[in-house]
Structure 1
Amino acid sequence: MNFNFLSPVSDAVLAHNELLSQQALGKKMEIHSAQNGIPDLDGVKLAIIGVQESRNDVNYMGEELSFDAIRIALYSLFPGNWHTTVADLGDIPAGASIDDTYYALQTIISVLLEKKIIPIIIGGSQDLTYANYRAYDTMSPMVNIVNVDSNFDLGDASVEMKNNSFLGKIILEQPYNLFNYSAIGYQTYFNSQEEIDLMDKLYFEAYRLGEVTYNINMVEPVMRDAHIVTMDLKSVRAAEVGAKQKYSPNGFNGKEICAIARYAGISNKVSSFGIYEYKSTNELDATPMLISQMIWYFIEGINCRVNDDDFRSSDNHQKFNVLIEDDELIFYKSAKTGRWWIEIPFLPNVNNKLKKHTLLPCTHDDYVEASQGKIPERWYKAYKKNSF
């Protein structure tokens, strides 16, 4: 089953797990141990994988990664009223080369996706998102990535990929599977004007930190359209994390980053989730507990998923037509959840990425603004992207 790349959860973590309450999450998980091997994945919905790889970090100093502190924190939490089974498959050690690590991660994610199991990746450097994306090559013709990050990570695709340039490689390397990329929480002073202009030119979406913290609910429709969610711990403000993890005094607080993780879980499309740029330390540190709570909220979101996007029957939705100049915008509202979508029309005479009409998640505010004559920006970008 191509899981021979994985090393088991350490005996120290398992010994700590033995001391926990029978109601703790660690007692209810399927765990890869040296004694029992890889657990049976029948009925498993989510699988945690650590990846001990940071060599493509631009600031790499030879540090080794351990996720023991994260596991001890996560196992000690109590699950919600969940109906999903979680497995911890252990770690992918750093390979002889970085490409070996990418291959191992890509292979394991591919197997999990085929089994309809959602991988939760805890990583070193965020370039591991590239291997996660490549796992979809045989699975999905078009992939949407949401990156919760202070940086766009476009970088210079003509040089060797690093953790601050993986997106450039995703965009430019065949096969071209990326349909949309959304950056949540970017901070302008960490991104060159050229990168900001390129995001606009490619009709990708970018939401500034201030926008998101002012209205955290705006994340929900963006996540609803995502397949891969990748979260950079550098998007969290320094006050919330340990000494080795501090990056910027500005960023999301713990409550906000957990809310974003929950929105990722609620999305019916999200099929892989990664938290990256972890720096392990032996000191007392809040970072492992923050990561474990982010994972907890993602799992909580998965358990709150509702299938509300079946629009074949008019009983399931309300339909609204809005005329703006020469365009007719068609909105749908779910009768079950009240969530909104807007239709992106199929353009038959254009060599486009869409093969049929498709629905883009949106908000009630988008409908209100359209009714007042303003075209929603998300619709405009999706429409333009579909046109080239």
Structure 2
Amino acid sequence: MEKTDRFYGVIAITILTFVFLPIIWAFQGYLLFHTLTENISIIIHILLFVVGSRTYKFSKNTVVLFISTAYLYVAALGFLHALSYKGMNIIVGIESGMATQFWVARRMLEAVSLLLATFIGKKALSFVRLNIVYALITIGVIVSIFTGIFPVCYIDGIGLTTFKKITEYVIILIGVLTLLRLKALGKSFDLVYVKVIGWAIAFGLAAEFVFTLYVSVYDSFNGIGHLLYLFSSGLLVVFIVREGLDKPYNIMFHTVYEKSIRDHLTGLYNRNGLEEFAHASFERAKRFKTTFCLLMMDLDNFKMVNDEYGHMEGDEALREFKELLTRAFREYDIVARLGGDEFVVLMEDGADLAAIAQKRLETAMETWKATNHRRRQLGISFGMAVRDAGSTATLAELLAVADALLIQEKLKKHS
């Protein structure tokens, strides 16, 4: 997720939370406002689960997997909270206080899960076992609420119970501990996104504090608490999408791209890479009037290495020659393997500097041959083409000129 995308995402959730939903509350009543707010939160939590779990095979991020899995069960309790809310009249036998019980259980599960996530690091997790644990906890909570085991949290006409208020403060304490533990996540995640999850937790803590103040489930403090909680959930989306979706897919696409422009044997650029970077360099030269020198070379008698010692030895020789090449030329010179034992270097300089680099490579070749008897029969032939400043010569034309000169040099050696 780029910086601008992150900015627009935060703007969108801000408008939804603090503009659109309050308008619904003001003109359509609290019950519709609450239903929409809860449903949006539930959808967000389910999306967190889908993104985090389905991309795990690419991200291998156990923290994201743990958090996203937890939010599936947070969403389940949130769904029951929404259905059982006073005035919904959907589930038979529901008491008005059950919605508050589901809320408290939901937030406790969420707070504890976020704290535990800071201790996971890169530990291996079983997705199946993780779901079994969360499913058992969630089922246990639901059963305890419907059987009356779960402590009462809200009484109509009286307000919040002492248990509910104490639980909210415990949740706040857990949230503070999680904030203090966020440095542990900084080892595995970009700092900016650790700050995002920190802000998400902070808004969640603000929501919890507000939830200790309401008397009626329809009063302003309850509504404000729901808005702060929704905003907190929205910020979590930024974190999960970045770490669970954007980052692994960016890595994957970068890997595919690198493979498309790199020679698999030597790691140098292949013809595709040479053409791409040459084109970019030539376009830049239109403004800065740069001279280029293309040096083409191939190894003399390379076939003898393959025939005498085998193709594995030939591959090793090519990898060793690649090391000589990269040391003889500059870091920003474009070094490529066209195929077989044929290599090309494109330099942003004239023939004089190219000749110096060529001499450096020839000296390194002699040392290489002297220290490895399997390389003694090798030689090297060159062909050079210059693209003067202001020239419109293409890479193909430079390669053709250099190739012709290379062939001439090899013919001279054979004659």
TM score, norm. by length of structure 2: 0.20
Q: TM-score, normalised by structure 1?
A: 0.21
The answer to which structure has the higher helix fraction is: 2
